[in-house]
Structures are given as structure tokens and as C-alpha cells.
Amino acid sequence: MAFDRFNIDTVFDFTGRKAVGESTQLPILYYKYNMNGTMTLLKCMREHDVQNFVFSSSCTVYGAPSPDNLPIKETDPVGCCQCPYAKCKYFTECLLQDLAQGEPDYWRIIIMRYFNPVGAHESGMIGEDPRGDPQNLMPKLAQVAVGKRPILNIYGEDYETKDGSPIRDYIHVVDVAKAHRKTIKNFQDIRGTEVYNIGTGEGKTAWDMVKAFEIACGKPIAFQMCGRRPGDVPKIYCDPSKAEKDLGWRAERSHTQMCADLWRFYTLNPNGYQDASVLRESGLNIEY
């Protein structure tokens, strides 16, 4: 296994399924993969004396916060989850807290609560290539623009927001990657667990993202309005100041850049990754 072949210092756990709507339909699948995988990984780490662990968690652990509690801070209540996906993340966070309390002088754990990562690398060579029916707004939006999908479903038009669509804190995937790089230098100061919100601190509606993507791709997006989707919350965005203070990180890219970079990826890769060797043969040197 990898722990036997390599001298591993830090483990980043990006595993698991991540669609809110799908999790309400397939809860057993989510509990099986999203929790068992992390537990197996932690067991292997302990057996090979690897102490540094970064867990990809989610803003969904905060549930449906009231407008008075926005922006969300890391110290705000968690656990009032709206879907099985969120519960898996919350239960895993509980496991990590218990693990650290059981061996307080051993584990160094960072929990990163993502707020809707989107976009692609600006080169257009690396991006999201979902298999089957994507469950998130932005890949569906891009698939409509590139002609792979006839119409975009927008779930909910009666939320108490400026245009009736739900509000999310969209963050560029490259900013997320840079946040992970920052954690490597901070493990020497960690004992037990630390939690960080990874977002921009600004909320955008679904319509904001559709309009920005229409500008990026230069064409109107065909859409139809649908009812609210089970598990979705009306609005959520974060206070990312703790990550800036502790890690020296903050998001730098706007929602318009997220849309422009995502469209560039789909323009260059309309059918996704047909052959994984394309990246290897390109000789591309990706810098974050």
C-alpha cells in the first residue's frame, strides 16, 4: 500500500460522494463510502505513525442558519443537518474530535469546511469532469452552454433572497488548493483539531452565477424553474477571517473569474477527459 511505499508526512482526505440531492435518495451509499473510507484511512495512518491529517468537510454541517447568524463562524453551532451528506461530514468531524481527545499529544488534525468550490485552473487543462448526471449547479450550467445538456434546472424561486434563488458562498478551486498548501506550514502549531471556513465571505445567488456564466460563454442559457430540492438551505456564506489570521490565506478570485475559467475548461474539453494521458503528454507545469 501507499503507506509502505512512501514516506508520508501529511494526509489530505478528499474522498467521498458530495451531492446533497443524491444523498437524500441514496443515504446508505453515502454513509458507507463517506464514513468507512475515512475510518480506514485513519487506521492506516495510526499504524504507520502518520500524525498530520486534513479533512475536507463542508459548510452543510452548519445546517440552515438564520439570517441573523450570517456570516457563519467556525464557532457557530453544527449538527442540525439537512441531508445525509451533511450528516456524514458532521459525524466524521465528531470522530476526529474524539480521536484527538483520546490521544491529545499525538494527532494534528485540520478540518476545512468548504463553501461551494467551483471553477477550473486558468490554463483550461484541469477541471471538473463529472461522471453521469452532475448534481451541482456549475457543471450543469457548463454542460448546457457546451451543448451536452438541453436545459438547466434551477431549484427554487421563492427563497427570501433578492431574486428568489438560494445564496451560496462560491469559491474558486485554485483558492481552495492554495488554502491546503498553507496548512502544511502550520501543523507544528496544531495539537488536537483546528477548524477553518474556506470561502470568500460573500454570498451569490444561483441567478448571479447564471448571469456571470452567460457573460463568460457569450450566449444565453436555456433554463426552467423547478421546486425546491430536498436538503437545500436558503442561504449560507462564511466569515473566513480565522483562516486569514492563522494560515495567512484568503480567497483572491471573483465569481466572474470562476465562470470564465470553468468555461475555458469546457471549451477545451467539451467531452471531459477522454484520455488521462492527455495531461501527462502535454508537459504542462501547473503552478498554484
pLDDT of residue 284: 52
Higher pLDDT, 174 or 278: 174
CA 208 to CA 97: how far, in whole Å? Answer: 37
pLDDT band at 18 (very low <50, low <70, confident <90, very high): confident
Q: Which of 30, 33, 62, 85 is catalytic?
A: 85
pLDDT of residue 144: 94
Contacts of 152 (CB under 8 A, 6+ apart): 140, 141, 144, 210, 221, 222, 223, 224
Q: Is the pLDDT of residue 201 over 90?
A: yes
Partner residues linked to 10 by β-bridges? 52
CA 3 to CA 174: how far, in whole Å? Answer: 27
Average pLDDT over residues 91-117: 95
pLDDT band at 134 (very low <50, low <70, confident <90, very high): confident
Nearest CA-CA partner of 225 in 138, 165, 145: 165
Indicate yes or no: pTM above 0.85. yes
Assess whether 196 carries a catalytic annotation. Answer: no
Could you give the percent of the chain with pLDDT greater than 70?
95
pLDDT of residue 277: 47
Whole-number mean pLDDT of the chain?
Answer: 90
Contacts of 53 (CB under 8 A, 6+ apart): 10, 11, 13, 42, 45, 96, 107, 108, 109, 110
pLDDT of residue 16: 86
Per DSSP, 251 falls in state -
CA 36 to chain centre: 20
Which residues in 164-180 are b (16+ Cβ under 10 Å) and which e? ebbbbbbbbbbbbebbb
Q: Which fold has domain 7-272?
A: Rossmann fold (3.40.50)
Query: What cell does 218 get?
Result: 457569450
**Number of neighbours of residue 143 by Cβ within 10 angstroms:** 19
pLDDT band at 50 (very low <50, low <70, confident <90, very high): very high
Domain boundaries along the sequence of the chain? 7-272
